[in-house]
Amino acid sequence: MKKIAVGFVMLLLSTAAFSQGDAITKFFAKYQDDETFSQVTVSSKMFSLLMDMKVDDAEDQQVIDAVSKLKGLRILGKDDTREGRTLYKEALSLLPSKDYEELMSIRDDDKDMKFFIRSGTAGKIAELVMVMGGNDDFMVLSLFGEIDLKAIGKIGSKMDIHGLDHLNKLDERKRDKGDKGDKGEKH
């Protein structure tokens, strides 16, 4: 009986983990064996290891605290490709509008970027998805767990993760709402 109970709990946990970002999970699964794509996967264990880091700066400690609440990061990208825009449209078509809310849209040179969030419990953000497509490159990023957008924007800037640095602009947009100096970015 004990084995059945443990098995049932494991089944529930694996179902909950798989159901997060089901559309994006299917997209990753479709291209995971294609060697023309670059892939990065970071587990919750890696994020928890960051908690042991000693930092002196209070701002850095806030970032570490935010990272400790993350459960995973997946990135799938393709450089030097003629399929960038096609992959971009395919990835966007898989995001169900009932589950994902568009947060921000950016056109930067020859690239289009869209950020989406999926809400979790108690109004928290459970997943952040960034889809980027250009004339010769493509990337989709899925970050899941309990997400603090401001901290993720700081991480993106410090680690030079293209696209995540744009999340810092969310606070600027809130302050400067109505300002027309948006440098071609869509709101």
Q: Using one digit for the tens of pLDDT, what is the confidence trace for 70-97?
A: 899 999 999 999 999 999 999 999 888 8
Which conformational region is residue 21 in: left (phi greater than 0), alpha (psi within -120 to 50 degrees), or beta?
Answer: left
Residue carrying the six token digits 């289009």? 112
> Mean pLDDT by 10-residue block, N- to C-terminus, for the chain (187 residues)?
36 37 81 94 86 80 80 94 95 89 90 92 88 95 86 68 63 47 43
Tokens of 80: 């030097």
